Amino acid sequence: MTETANRALTAALIRLLRPLVRLLLRYGVSYQAFADLARWAYVDVASREFAIPGRKQTVSRVSVLTGLNRKEVSRLQATEQPDDTVAEQRHNRATRVINGWLRDPRFRDDGGHPLPLPFEAEAGGPSITELVRAHSGDMPPRAVLDELERTGAVHAGDEGLHYLAAEGYVPGGEVEKLHILGSDVAELVATIDYNLHAEGGEPRFQRKVAYNNLPAEALPALRRLTADRSGELLLELNEWFAARDRDTAQDGAEEGDRHRAGLAIYYFEDPDDAPPAS
């Protein structure tokens, strides 16, 4: 790495760490706890992704790559990764239920709009229970409905009917939002890493627009504009993805390699007394 690149990487890490450290301090995570997690991540990535092609990764090589002694490497390799699959599954299954309600003809009216659904229906008619069974595996229908009502995605109406009130699932719980911290930030960093080394290849889309001297009175309109226009784009992309994803496509797509892809849009805002970016 050149001296210029090293200085740029150091400055980028400081900018990256500021909001992360702010969040960690708010949750009472000490530097020592963070350092322990960082050591584990160094060993995990070096073990999984930096082996010499055609050769098995060794403790000695991981030690050289990470700067940790071999005893520490062995200890960390035997330490289990923290598990957040419960939050991930809850998010994914709630999203699949909403997508099924929006797209599955069994749960839409003649105009293509989501039907109001009872919790259960006689003779196997459209219902919350059937919707969850069709699009969320073995999750209890009542638990899924409670989660969607808690987050405002579904509301109960008259005569025991339930109405879809949102076109996407926005987690409302602290645990689910912390899961997003891990998944979304990791995806952005992975895209930046890919683009840094995509020589001769097609870079992944990564753009933003920002101005640094906006009046406070312009911000409410900006928040509404970005939410509305971004929501429209994501709904359009959701239709495209759902028509091709093997879990939701209606045309019986052929089996083959699995790939995960998507687009994330986020709004950000800093006060004028925020720490400098560089």
Q: Would you state the pLDDT for residue 278?
A: 45
| Token digits of residue 70 | 């071999």
Q: Which of 115-124, 157-166, 248-257 has the lowest mean pLDDT?
A: 248-257
Q: Give yes or no for residue 197 having a pLDDT over 70.
A: yes
CATH number of 84-164: 1.10.10
Q: Give yes or no for residue 5 having a pLDDT over 70.
A: yes
Cβ–Cβ under 8 Å, residues 195 and 203: yes
Q: Would you state the pLDDT for residue 191?
A: 93
Q: What is the pLDDT of residues 52-93, one digit of tens each?
A: 999 999 999 999 999 999 999 999 999 887 665 656 666 777
Q: Give yes or no for residue 274 having a pLDDT over 70.
A: no
Q: Would you state the pLDDT for residue 273?
A: 57
Question: Is pLDDT larger for residue 111 or for residue 57?
Answer: 57
Round to whole Å and give the CA distance between 247 and 250. Answer: 9
Grade residue 252 by pLDDT with cuts at 50, 70 and 90. low
Question: Is pLDDT larger for residue 122 or for residue 253?
Answer: 122
Q: What is the pLDDT of residues 126-174, one digit of tens each?
A: 999 999 988 887 788 998 898 888 888 899 987 889 999 877 666 667 7
Q: Would you state the pLDDT for residue 254?
A: 64
Q: Give yes or no for residue 253 having a pLDDT over 80.
A: no
Residue ranges per structural domain of the chain: 1-80, 84-164
Question: Is pLDDT larger for residue 242 or for residue 44?
Answer: 44
